[in-house]
Amino acid sequence: MSSSAPDQPETTTPAIRPVRRRRLLRSAGVRFAVLYALVFGVSTILLAASLRYSTIGLLDRQTHEAIRTDARGLAAHFKTGGLSALVLTLDGRINEDINENAIYLLVDPLGNRIAGNLSRWPQGIDTPQVWYQVPVERTGKRSHALMRFYDLPGGFQLLVGRDVSARTQLRRLLRDGLIWALAAMVLLGTLGALIIRGLFKRALADISATTRAIARGDLTQRVRRSGHGDEFDELAETINDMLDRITKLMNGVREVSNAIAHDLRTPITRARARLEDAASHARTEEELRGAVDRATGELDGVVKVFQALLRIAEIEAGARRSAFANIDLTPVLEDLAEFFEAVAEERHIAIDTHWPSDLPMVGDRDMLQQAVANLLENAIKFSPPDHRVTISARMDAANIEIEIADEGPGIPEADRPRATERFYRGELARSTPGTGLGLALVAAIAQLHGGVLRLEDNAPGLRAVLVLPRRALNPEATLRIKLWAQTVRKAETQSGADAQRGA
């Protein structure tokens, strides 16, 4: 792949022109404009063709028919009255001037004129029953005539025709008109194409300018709406929604990194200070060891925060749905209640439990354990002595609700929406040990299961309600996740194979 690059021209100069042409065609505006001009042109040509067919074609057909009828009538006269009757009829027609465009010529077998209004047999006419269009000279005027001759019995030949100079004029008129129309079409087509391209460019210019600004890092830009409510407006709206979401995520990331900076900097600073202080001031080995131990403890706290953050990120990425299985929450709750009951009892807190004998659902057992454990530990941590913590669970067709309530200080209503943010710590929580990540983790776990964590007032205290859909995901979502996982796995093995090949 590195040595051969077939699409890269060896020498740049001669390749520039075709590339530019292709790039011009790659512009959607130009493409649409060309398409527009093409459609316009084709429809004009079709219109001209039909116009021509219906005028000149019709006249042609009418002339042919007239000549044929004329010839048939004259032939009948010849048949019934012989040559003299035919000559008489011809002379009569010519003299009476029934049709000034009519042309007749009757010749004997030697080619001598017997009757008719042509002085001589026109040149080039030698096959009977064939249409000829030839220039003729008639009463001193040069004009065009459409004619045809018939062999009569006895070697006589009858030429019947019509002067079509009027039609020729019409044809010329039509042709000129069409040429003008074509010129107008080319002009209009080009103009229209340019207008379309301009419209496209203008409609897209704002979008591309905005997105370019965003790409440069200016997240305040938004696509202007034209107000027509058209497709471009729809696109602009979609893009703006996307930008809002990106901005929100970016702010979230910024907040988290600020919080990380603060929450990790503090213990690291303390550990560092302790170590430095011990290094320069510790008098005994015991003092030194104590300082080192405490610094190690601080660092363990940092690691804990790290792990919690990574775990939340891992859960939020949704990568852990692979561990979803059919589980029963009742034994999970029983075990957790028993596990923490020891701590509660030590603090003189009673744990009340109410739940049905089974709580079947689809989910990740380990994570739900952790979610309930976090809520329960919180409740025990903030519950005053000689009060109770209540764990209860309810189930309906769609959801399982796990409720953990304490009689502690609770969270003020104004703070509740923020309580599940990473590193959020309420006024009261600030003095207690903790990472500020517990509720964020619970919320992430709930979200992964398609549920929510609700924080309510227990008057007094906090009531945390974990609402979990029993069938956590609809089949379509499950399928999507499965496909996604397959793709990821494929990509992983692919990159693994690439790496091996590379090594």
Partner 1 sequence: MRILVVEDDKDVAGFVVKGLREAGHTVEHADNGRDGLFMAASENFDAIILDRMLPGGIDGLRLLETLRAQDNATPVMFLSALGQVDDRVKGLKAGGDDYLTKPFAFAELLARVEAMSRRGKGEGPTTRLGVGDLEMDLLSRGVKRAGQKIDLQPREFRLLEYLMRHAGQVVTRTMLLEGVWDYHFDPQTNVIDVHISRLRQKIDKPFEAPLLHTVRNAGYMLRVEEP
Given the complex with partner 1, which of 376 and 455 has the nearer CB atom?
Answer: 376
Q: Cα–Cα distances in Å, from 247 out to 17, 252, 413?
A: 42, 8, 26
Given the complex with partner 1, which of 49 and 323 has the nearer CB atom?
Answer: 323
Q: Taking a C-beta distance cutoff of 8 angstroms, is the pair 318, 473 a contact? A: no
Per CB under 8 A, 324 contacts partner 1: no
Site residues for partner 1, 376-415, by CB under 8 A, read 377, 380-381
Given the complex with partner 1, which of 370 and 420 has the nearer CB atom?
Answer: 370
What is residue 395's three-state secondary structure?
strand
438, 450, 451, 469: which one binds partner 1 (CB under 8 A): 438
Given the complex with partner 1, which of 374 and 458 has the nearer CB atom?
Answer: 374
Site residues for partner 1, 298-317, by CB under 8 A, read 299-300, 303-304, 307, 310, 314
Min separation Cβ 382 and partner 1, Å: 12
Site residues for partner 1, 193-232, by CB under 8 A, read none
Quick one: which segment of 89-97, 143-151, 166-174, 292-300 binds partner 1 (CB under 8 A)?
292-300
The 10 Å CB-count burial string (b at 16+, else e) for 270-289 is bbeebbeebeeeeeeeeeee
Given the complex with partner 1, which of 1 and 503 has the nearer CB atom?
Answer: 503
Q: Beta 132-138 vs 141-151: how paired, if at all?
A: antiparallel
Min separation Cβ 227 and partner 1, Å: 49
Left, alpha or beta for 111 (phi > 0: left; psi -120 to 50: alpha)?
left
In this structure, which long-range contacts are made by residues 306-310, counting pairs with CB atoms below 8 Å and at least 24 apart in sequence?
A: 306/264, 308/435, 308/437, 308/438, 308/441, 309/256, 309/260, 309/422, 309/437
Residue 455, C-beta contacts closer than 8 angstroms, at least 6 positions apart: 411, 416, 419, 420, 439, 462, 463, 464, 465
**Site map (CB under 8 A) of partner 1, residues 336-375, x = contact:** --xxx-xx--x-------------------x--xx--xx-
Given the complex with partner 1, which of 388 and 394 has the nearer CB atom?
Answer: 388
Given the complex with partner 1, which of 174 and 319 has the nearer CB atom?
Answer: 319
Given the complex with partner 1, which of 178 and 442 has the nearer CB atom?
Answer: 442
Min separation Cβ 335 and partner 1, Å: 7
Q: Tell whether the torsion through CA atoms of 256, 259, 261 and 264 is positive or negative.
A: negative
Residue 49, C-beta contacts closer than 8 angstroms, at least 6 positions apart: none
The amino acid that residue 404 corresponds to is I
Q: Tell whether the torsion through CA atoms of 8, 11, 15 and 20 is positive or negative.
A: positive
Min separation Cβ 358 and partner 1, Å: 19
Q: Taking a C-beta distance cutoff of 8 angstroms, is the pair 496, 385 a contact? A: no
Dist. CA 49–CA 468, nearest whole Å = 72
Site residues for partner 1 per CB under 8 A: 293, 299-300, 303-304, 307, 310, 314, 319-320, 322-323, 335, 338-340, 342-343, 346, 366, 369-370, 373-374, 377, 380-381, 433-434, 438, 503
